[in-house]
Amino acid sequence: MKIIMLGAPGAGKGTQAKKIAEKYGIPHISTGDIFRANIKNGTELGKKAKTYMDQGALVPDELTCDLVVDRIQQPDCANGYVLDGFPRTIPQAECLTTALDKLGQKMDYAINVDVPDENIVHRMGGRRACVGCGATYHVVYNAPKAEDICDTCGEHLVLRDDDKPETVQKRLNVYHEQTQPLIDYYEKAGILKNVDGTVDMKDVFQAIVNILGE
């Protein structure tokens, strides 16, 4: 099963993508996580990506497309994958469609997690990310057992650099300009499914399972 997660920054794409990956046994491919891992390891790609990410801007398409097209051809993707944070622009979607055509494959679902802007800023301010394993928490909606300590690996939890309110607003603007048009793109492709992302995380996941099947 090949799935794309669509939605504004902070809509809960990552939260749901991880659950989907676990339930259906397919890899979770997050371009944001790939870039953050590269930043942490000080790679050339990481250095380039950081300048855009810190401003709330998108990393250029040419740095992103090849990375994903290469990743989806790895052996662990044979039974499908869930893409989180990619595609994010029409050129990225076209690049993906072209690559899948060449491989004789097609995307099965584009799941749009719908959350209004008002809820987003509040969510991002409460998000905490683990510096060790990248797990995501929320101080109110998904609190760790010990304050600011990761349940999984015991490392510290921090506010992401791009989760400061002024950067969140920029990311939302970028989302509306460049990413929202993908909803139409995948509607026309006949694979768009909308889910209400404002309800409890478990209920969002149940709505997704209802679409994907048990």
Binding-site string for ligand AP5 from residue 52 to residue 91, where x marks contact by CB under 6 A and - marks none:
xx--xxxx----x--------------------xx-x---
123 assigned to active site: no
Residue 125 CA to residue 172 CA, distance in Å, equals 14
Least Å distance, CB 1 to ligand AP5, is 19
Least Å distance, CB 66 to ligand AP5, is 12
In sign, the C-alpha dihedral spanning 2, 45, 56, 97 is negative
Taking CB under 6 A as the rule, does residue 204 contact ligand AP5? Answer: yes
- Closer to ligand AP5 at the Cβ: 26 or 175? 175
How many residues bind ligand AP5, per CB under 6 A? Answer: 36
Exactly one of 2, 50, 123, 127 is catalytic; name it.
Answer: 127
71 assigned to active site: no
Q: Which does 132 bind (CB under 5 to 8 A by kind): ligand AP5, Zn ion, none?
A: Zn ion
Taking CB under 6 A as the rule, does residue 141 contact ligand AP5? Answer: yes
**Measuring CA to CA, how many Å separate 157 from each of 92, 134, 152?**
31, 9, 11
Was 197 annotated as part of a binding site? Answer: no
Residue 75 CA to residue 167 CA, distance in Å, equals 37
Residue 160 CA to residue 171 CA, distance in Å, equals 13
- Closer to ligand AP5 at the Cβ: 57 or 104? 57
DSSP state, residue 161: G
From its phi and psi, is residue 5 left (phi > 0), alpha (psi between -120 and 50) or beta?
Answer: beta
Exactly one of 2, 50, 128, 171 is catalytic; name it.
Answer: 171
Residue for token pair 């790679």: 43
Was 127 annotated as part of a binding site? Answer: yes
3, 4, 10, 26: residue in contact with ligand AP5 (rule CB under 6 A): 10
* Contacts for 136 with CB less than 8 Å, ≥ 6 apart: 14, 15, 127, 128, 129, 130, 142
35, 68, 76, 75: which is closest to 54 by C-alpha? 35
C-alpha Rg value of the chain to the nearest Å: 16
Q: Which residues are annotated as a binding site?
A: 10-15, 31, 36, 57-59, 85-88, 92, 127, 130, 133, 136-137, 150, 153, 160, 171, 199
Catalytic residues: 13, 88, 127, 160, 171
Contacting positions for ligand AP5 (CB under 6 A): 7, 9-15, 31-32, 35, 52-53, 56-59, 64, 85-86, 88, 92, 123, 126-127, 136-138, 141-142, 162, 171, 197, 200-201, 204
